[in-house]
Amino acid sequence: MALLMVEVLVYSLDQIKPLNTPKETAVMLWGNWNDTTRKRIYRWIHNGNLTALRDGKSYWIPHKEITKYLPQNETEEPEKINFGNG
């Protein structure tokens, strides 16, 4: 039986990019982009809970705003996660 190992890197937000779209923000915070998370992101922007920059019809959310809602261990060094038989 062959041994299968998959390595996944988890990066901090500082290593991804300084500005994120609402979709990218929702995926970082909740792991998916669906109707519920889309409405929640835009509601947070309109209520002032999440500061965002507006460029025409697009919103851009600074990574420092997102880190307020992430657990502290999410903003540290990348960690390696191994999946497989071993």
Distances (CA, A) of 71 to 3, 5, 30, 82: 33, 28, 12, 22
Q: How far apart are CA 75 and CA 56, in angstroms?
A: 30
Is pLDDT above 60 for 86? no
> Residues 6-42: pLDDT tens digits?
555 555 544 567 899 999 999 999 999 999 999 999 9
Question: Do the domain assignments include residue 6?
Answer: no
Mean pLDDT, rounded, for 33-60: 95
The answer to whether 47 and 58 have CB atoms below 8 angstroms apart is no
Question: Do the domain assignments include residue 33?
Answer: yes
Structural domain that includes position 46: 19-84
- Residues in the chain, overall count: 86
Question: Do the domain assignments include residue 2?
Answer: no
Question: Do the domain assignments include residue 49?
Answer: yes
* Amino acid letter, residue 30: W
pLDDT score, position 17:
77
Question: Do the domain assignments include residue 10?
Answer: no
- What is the pTM assigned to this prediction? 0.63
* DSSP, res 14: G
Question: Do the domain assignments include residue 13?
Answer: no
Question: Do the domain assignments include residue 34?
Answer: yes
Question: Do the domain assignments include residue 8?
Answer: no
Number of independent structural domains in the chain: 1
Distances (CA, A) of 81 to 10, 11, 12, 28: 8, 11, 14, 17
Mean pLDDT, rounded, for 60-66: 92
